[in-house]
Amino acid sequence: MPKVRTGLDVLVAQDFAPLRGLRVGLVTHPAAVDSQLRHAIELFAAAPKVTLAAIFGPEHGLLGQAQDLISVAVAESKPLVQSAVHSLYGATFESLKPTAEQLAGLDALVIDMQDVGSRYYTFQATMRYCLEVALPLGMRVFVLDRPNPLGGEVVEGPALQKGFESFVGAHDLAIRHGLTMGEMAMLYQQELDLDMGELRVVACEGWKRSQYFDETGLPWVLPSPNMPTLETAIVYPGQCLIEGTNLSEGRGTTRPFELCGAPWIDAAKLAQRMNAEKLPGVRFRAAWFRPTFQKHAGKDCGGVQLHVTDRTTFQPVRTSLALLSAMREMSGAHFAWRTEVYEFVRDPIAIDLLFGSARERIHLEANRPWRDVAKTWTPEEAAFTHRRHTALLYD
């Protein structure tokens, strides 16, 4: 038996008692399974005296088949139940929120999605948008909680500054926030003054903040196409920053985010330079790869693979800031920031949305040491650690 029970497991054990007699909308994705790998949709459809009236799918689609930045049409999501289906990742920013019309006739909205502990992983943004719409309508919202795969003790990364909000930065969290979905929901309710309706978190049982996902006994299911393993999630809080450049973050390979580089990068020199930094908990191996899709598809890229040797001391955001600084310098005129529309926003550009301000980009463009800008994060990390305290549900 798993050491930890998710909110879904707890609800099943309660025979869905809190939802009996209600017409329910379910916001979910493929990773919303119980400890026996039964999906939430299947369980809700069979729940006694519960009517599953609507299903909402986030980015990557209800079935999890869509790559990043690809809008999902309702017709692409075909659950095996007779419920209305809505996409919360269409072709416009407005599509990211459920409408009052889509929620009409529902007594409760249930949110069950697996997060991976990074501010720019968008399922928690979808949850925030759902709370902003549903609670002012007087609805009951249930969040079925799940463990943060990276544990809940460590906070790392800069704050989100005003003017840089987006789908990859919907709320001012540290990049590695150390919160569960349920805890973020509590924080959002407090900080957005959403005191209408009713928010209830069905908490996990048995989870400790010190636990990584592989210590829970729960099965890992890909929450998105490029999050195949816990190892991916561990490096993701830093490596997703590479999305804001013309360097490959390893999409189109079997090790997304663990691999990174570009056709013009000297892999051996990059690995040597990064290992000389003596960053805690990580080693860099010279690597060559050929992405099958997205950036540099079909081209041989030189770069590195991150090998985390001690996840308790590894600092993913600082590590990737150092790596980004090195690759930018080594790329010379080849390097460029990503300037096309990114998650429905053209200005600010992607790297600024990901960092949460223009500060880090400006610092790198001035060729200043990466450690100097990382020092500015320390008071922001402390401030967020203090802010989040009232929302903590575990330990």
Pick from 2, 109, 7, 1: nearest CA to 394: 7
Q: Residue 68: pLDDT band by 50, 70, 90 thresholds?
A: confident
Greater model confidence, 60 or 338: 338
DSSP letter at 335? -
Q: Is 386 helix (H, G, I), strand (E, B) or coil?
A: helix
Q: How far is CA 125 from each of CA 96, 97, 131, 171, 188, rounded to the nearest angstrom? A: 9, 10, 10, 8, 10
The mean-pLDDT minimum among 14-23, 86-95, 199-208, 286-295 falls in 86-95
Kindly tell me if the per-residue pLDDT of 75 is higher than 70: no
CATH number of 230-357: 3.90.1150.140
Q: How many CB atoms lie within 10 A of CB 18?
A: 15
Kindly tell me if the per-residue pLDDT of 113 is higher than 80: yes
3-state secondary structure 99-147: CHHHHCCCCEEEEECCCCCECCCCHHHHHHHHHHHHHHHCCEEEEECCC
| Cβ pair 388, 154 in contact under 8 A | no
Residue 149's pLDDT is: 98
Pick from 385, 225, 217, 230: nearest CA to 311: 230
Q: Which residues, in sequence order, are CB contacts of 181 under 8 Å at separation 6+?
A: 111, 113, 114, 115, 123, 124, 127, 143, 145, 146
Mean pLDDT of 372-383: 98
Kindly tell me if the per-residue pLDDT of 69 is higher than 70: no
Q: Is 354 helix (H, G, I), strand (E, B) or coil?
A: helix
Strands 23-28 and 108-112: parallel
pLDDT digits (tens, 9 = 90+) for 226-283: 999 999 999 999 999 999 999 999 999 999 999 999 999 999 999 999 999 999 999 9
| Cβ pair 162, 358 in contact under 8 A | no
Kindly tell me if the per-residue pLDDT of 395 is higher than 90: no
Residue 61's pLDDT is: 79
Every domain range in the chain assigned CATH 3.90.1150.140: 230-357
Residue 177's pLDDT is: 98
Greater model confidence, 75 or 10: 10
Mean pLDDT of 337-355: 97
Cα separation, 108 vs 233, in Å, equals: 31
Enter the tokens of residue 216. 């829970």
When the pLDDT of each residue in the chain is averaged and rounded to a whole number, the result is 96
Greater model confidence, 59 or 303: 303
Residue 86's pLDDT is: 93
Determine what percent of the chain is predicted with pLDDT higher than 70: 98
Where helices occur in 46-120 by DSSP H, the ranges are: 100-103
Pick from 268, 141, 271: nearest CA to 199: 141
pLDDT digits (tens, 9 = 90+) for 11-26: 999 999 999 999 999 9
Every domain range in the chain assigned CATH 3.40.50.12170: 7-225+387-391
Q: Residue 66: pLDDT band by 50, 70, 90 thresholds?
A: confident
pLDDT digits (tens, 9 = 90+) for 165-217: 999 999 999 999 999 999 999 999 999 999 999 999 999 999 999 999 999 99
pLDDT digits (tens, 9 = 90+) for 128-177: 999 999 999 999 999 999 999 999 999 999 999 999 999 999 999 999 99
Determine the distance from the C-alpha atom of residue 23 to the mean position of all C-alpha atoms in its chain, rounded to a whole number: 29
Give the type of residue at 142. Answer: F
- pTM for the predicted model, two decimal places: 0.96
DSSP count for the chain of H helices, then E strands: 12, 9
Residue 48's pLDDT is: 93
In CATH, the architecture of 7-225+387-391 is 3-Layer(aba) Sandwich (3.40)
Residue 140's pLDDT is: 98
